[in-house]
């Protein structure tokens, strides 16, 4: 018995309705993802950024955990970095991209007192782009280089290593692991992906973020801004965790080196020691750290860079040559970061090194 025209029309209408609803859901999800869904919260900056009270907006992003939103009043440019707006146009000056964490961003000093800007004044004919971000580790800094740094056509990249906690950062971030051939391999998930972007649907992610915002933000804070000293290499050097952190860090720097070498860009790394091993070892004593291991982190970073044939400056010996009052003056005792004089002292060492090493290209093996 043939179907009636009315039934055919109903079936056709239902099919069209289903397709329309599906397309509307897809369009809504895309609209939510690229226009409306920007999971963010405020990072308190009272007492920081030259003492100006304010709030920096942090936006959670799936590929690099977070980035700062522009804030002209607090000196954050359109790309989320603490500097003037960057330009892709070059005016005859050598351009350097300076990567790092809060030591480079310089939250406790004026913008012009940060290490990149102190170096810029010393070099005179160079422009230094400050791409330091509080809470970042070398894994996120590699991503910053690839996402932003290369687009500004730098002649040189300086990577600042925070000996205190960079090894802990890459462990907590879960952005990368090592592949079967020892290569750097992005992970399928990370803390931000699993908490904020767990679903393929942006609508579902948005609802989940709104419902669990306090829990999500609270859980992520201890990961994104963990400033605890990583004692793994100092106390548990033979552990599996120490070996994993070493191998992952080595591959991250190898990847950065290869990317820069391929683009014929000069490369320099600096190792920044901590307030604890330069000025006040109370924390180490409380944690029963062997005095012979006070500079273990710096030494291990140096061994990684030497094995990869990456130019580096270990600032620790330079700091330790000063008497105690002088070297303590290089730090802000309140928060453990470099003081204005500390940033200028480090910049002076870097500028002298650069003058003695005109070509900082990665040499062929």
d(CA 136, CA 270): 15
Q: State pLDDT tens for residues 168-197.
A: 999 999 999 998 888 999 999 999 999 999
d(CA 36, CA 199): 16
Instruction: State mean pLDDT over 127-144.
Output: 97
* Predicted confidence (pLDDT) at residue 145 exceeds the cutoff of 80: yes
Residue 282's H or E segment, with its range, is helix 282-286
Of 24-28, 318-322, 348-352, 356-360, which range is least confident?
A: 356-360
Q: State pLDDT tens for residues 312-342.
A: 999 999 999 999 999 999 999 888 999 999 9
- Assign 270 to helix, strand or coil: strand
**pLDDT exceeding 70 applies to what percent of the chain?**
95
Of 9-18, 94-103, 135-144, which range is least confident?
A: 9-18
CA-to-CA separations, 260 to 149, 158, 350, in angstroms, rounded: 11, 11, 19
Instruction: State mean pLDDT over 116-131.
Output: 95
Contacts of 34 (CB under 8 A, 6+ apart): none
CA-to-CA separations, 90 to 76, 86, 151, in angstroms, rounded: 21, 10, 12
pLDDT of residue 250: 97
* Predicted confidence (pLDDT) at residue 151 exceeds the cutoff of 80: yes
**Nearest residue to 199 (alpha-carbon basis) of 29, 358, 84, 70:** 29
Q: pLDDT band for position 365 (50/70/90)? A: very low
* Predicted confidence (pLDDT) at residue 364 exceeds the cutoff of 50: no
Contacts 24+ apart (CB under 8 A), 114-123: 114/82, 114/343, 115/160, 115/338, 115/343, 115/346, 115/347, 115/350, 116/83, 118/343, 118/344, 118/346, 118/347, 118/348, 119/347, 119/350, 119/351, 121/347, 122/347, 122/348, 122/351, 123/94, 123/351, 123/354
The backbone torsions φ and ψ at residue 296, rounded to the nearest 5 degrees and listed phi first, read: -60, -40
* Predicted confidence (pLDDT) at residue 133 exceeds the cutoff of 90: yes
Question: How far is C-alpha 285 from the geometric centre of its chain's CA atoms?
Answer: 30
d(CA 362, CA 365): 9
Instruction: State mean pLDDT over 199-213.
Output: 93
d(CA 187, CA 131): 24
> Is the entire prediction scored with pTM above 0.85?
yes
* Predicted confidence (pLDDT) at residue 360 exceeds the cutoff of 60: no
d(CA 55, CA 61): 19
d(CA 111, CA 105): 8
Q: pLDDT band for position 120 (50/70/90)? A: very high
Q: pLDDT band for position 20 (50/70/90)? A: confident
């Amino acid at each position: 018995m043939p179907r009636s025209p009315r039934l055919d029309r109903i079936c056709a209408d239902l099919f069209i309705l289903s397709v329309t609803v599906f397309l509307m859901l897809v369009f809504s999800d895309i609209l939510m993802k690229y226009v409306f869904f920007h999971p963010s919260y405020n990072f308190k900056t009272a007492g920081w950024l030259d003492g100006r009270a304010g709030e920096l907006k942090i936006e959670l992003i799936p590929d690099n955990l977070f980035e700062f939103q522009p804030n002209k009043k607090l000196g954050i440019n359109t790309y989320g970095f603490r500097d003037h707006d960057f330009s892709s146009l070059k005016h005859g000056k050598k351009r350097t991209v300076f990567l790092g964490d809060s030591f480079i961003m310089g939250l406790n000093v004026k913008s012009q007192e940060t290490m990149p800007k102190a170096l810029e004044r010393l070099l005179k004919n160079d422009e230094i782009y400050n791409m330091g971000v509080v809470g970042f580790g070398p894994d996120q800094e590699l991503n910053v280089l690839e996402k932003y740094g290369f687009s500004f056509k730098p002649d040189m990249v300086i990577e600042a290593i925070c000996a205190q906690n960079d090894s802990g950062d890459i462990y907590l971030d879960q952005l990368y692991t090592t592949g079967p051939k020892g290569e750097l391999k992005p992970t399928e998930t990370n803390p931000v992906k699993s908490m904020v972007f767990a679903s393929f649907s942006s609508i579902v992610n948005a609802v989940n973020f709104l419902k669990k915002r306090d829990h999500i933000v609270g859980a992520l804070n201890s990961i994104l801004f963990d400033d605890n000293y990583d004692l793994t290499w100092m106390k548990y050097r033979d552990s599996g965790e120490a070996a994993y952190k070493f191998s992952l860090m080595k591959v991250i720097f190898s990847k950065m080196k290869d990317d820069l070498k391929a683009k014929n860009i000069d490369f320099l790394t600096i190792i920044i020691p901590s307030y604890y091993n330069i000025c006040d070892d109370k924390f180490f004593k409380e944690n029963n750290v062997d005095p012979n291991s006070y500079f273990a982190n710096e030494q291990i970073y140096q061994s990684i860079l030497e094995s990869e044939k990456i130019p580096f400056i270990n600032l620790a010996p330079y700091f330790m040559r000063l008497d105690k009052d002088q070297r303590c003056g290089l730090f802000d005792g309140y928060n453990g970061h470099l003081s204005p004089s500390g940033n200028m002292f480090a910049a002076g060492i870097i500028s002298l090194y650069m003058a003695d090493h005109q070509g900082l290209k990665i040499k062929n093996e």
